[in-house]
């Protein structure tokens, strides 16, 4: 295929294997789309699908995911550690080969329009697809969770969704859809049960707190492990690398007398962000070479770019 995009839909389900199997089967039924990775987290109650494929086929696969999630996920009974506004919470489009960022923004808008019209789910465009500039940041859209978003939609004309009704879907909420550069989701688990330790570290190292550039971070409890986690998004690994993010957490945790147990990468990483020593240096669990995007794509004969 001469034209390839990556899409990473984040679904608010990390516990029901039947629902995840249904979503996975739907994706695999679409020609010219490959499911490269599925990361399931029961504490976050969230799953991250990493897809690569031809843009038109990708739009078909993503619509199926959103439609099936609408049928199978009810946010009224959803309880997880990760912030979310929708059954399918966020759908980013990332250009890989023969596709521009502007085209990805267009694909996001086209799919968002269809989701709004056919499924009655409000869609908010973010990052490079944003139409309303102050809504470009995902954390701004998610602020206050479902209730906060609904209140803004009711009270502020600037918060009318880009597509779909001006009211949350009763079970599926809303969808944030956009186009962006590669994002690396990176979590570091601390040998501590104190959530305040993780939150202090997150506040110190993230960009908004004067820490590392292009880094978002939050402290998250992990009930299944009886531990806490610093959950990070590296918005641009060229500005803050995986190693730099890990060392920042390590420095702040040791300052508080807390050791690091392990770390994990959610989804895949581009080769440019990786080196052979990282798995050991970062105390990564369950790492293998197919978690590098180029290696995973090669398995499906999608390369070279």
pLDDT digits (tens, 9 = 90+) for 215-251: 999 999 999 999 999 999 999 999 999 999 999 999 9
pLDDT digits (tens, 9 = 90+) for 190-205: 999 999 999 999 999 9
At the top level of CATH, which class does the domain 184-287 belong to? alpha beta
The reply to whether 82 belongs to the active site is yes
Q: Which CATH number fits domain 4-179: 3.40.50.720, 3.30.565.10, 3.10.105.10, 3.30.990.10?
A: 3.30.990.10
Active-site residue (options: 39, 71, 78, 82): 82
- Stretch among 23-37, 65-79, 108-122, 126-140 having the lowest mean pLDDT: 65-79
Rounded to two decimals, what is the model's pTM?
0.93
Contact 149, 174 (CB under 8 A): yes
Contact 87, 103 (CB under 8 A): no
pLDDT digits (tens, 9 = 90+) for 16-71: 999 999 999 999 999 999 999 999 998 888 999 999 999 999 999 999 999 999 99
pLDDT (average), residues 88-114: 97
- Residue boundaries of the structural domains of the chain: 4-179, 184-287
Q: Is 251 left (phi over 0), alpha (psi -120 to 50) or beta?
A: alpha
Helix axes 55-72, 101-114, angle to 10 degrees: 40
Which band of pLDDT confidence, cut at 50, 70 and 90, is reported for residue 287? confident
Contact 283, 249 (CB under 8 A): no
């Amino acid at each position: 295929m001469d034209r390839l995009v990556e899409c990473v839909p984040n679904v608010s389900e990390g516990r029901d294997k039947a629902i995840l199997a249904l979503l996975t089967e739907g994706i695999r039924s679409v020609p010219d789309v490959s499911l490269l990775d599925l990361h399931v987290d029961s504490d976050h109650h969230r799953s991250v699908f990493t897809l690569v494929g031809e843009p038109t086929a990708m739009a078909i696969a993503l619509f199926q995911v959103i439609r099936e999630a609408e049928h199978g996920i009810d946010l009224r009974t959803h309880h997880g550690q990760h912030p979310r506004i929708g059954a399918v919470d966020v759908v980013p489009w990332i250009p890989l080969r023969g596709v521009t960022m502007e085209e990805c923004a267009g694909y996001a808008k086209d799919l968002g329009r269809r989701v709004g019209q056919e499924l009655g789910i409000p869609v908010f465009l973010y990052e490079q697809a944003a139409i309303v500039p102050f809504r470009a940041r995902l954390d701004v859209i998610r602020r206050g969770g479902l209730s906060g978003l609904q209140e803004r939609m009711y009270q502020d004309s600037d918060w009318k969704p880009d597509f779909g009704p001006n009211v949350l879907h009763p079970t599926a909420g809303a969808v944030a859809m956009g186009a962006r550069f590669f994002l690396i989701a990176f979590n570091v688990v601390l040998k501590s049960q104190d959530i305040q330790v993780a939150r202090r570290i997150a506040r110190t190292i993230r960009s908004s707190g004067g820490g590392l550039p292009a880094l978002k971070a939050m402290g998250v409890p992990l009930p299944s492990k009886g531990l806490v986690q610093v959950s990070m998004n590296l918005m641009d690994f060229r500005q803050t690398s995986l190693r730099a993010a890990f060392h920042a957490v390590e420095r702040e945790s040791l300052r508080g007398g807390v050791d690091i147990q392990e770390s994990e990468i959610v989804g895949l990483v581009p080769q440019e962000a990786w080196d052979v020593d990282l798995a050991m240096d970062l105390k990564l669990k369950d790492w293998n070479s197919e978690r590098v995007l180029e290696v995973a794509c090669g398995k499906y004969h999608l390369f070279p770019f």
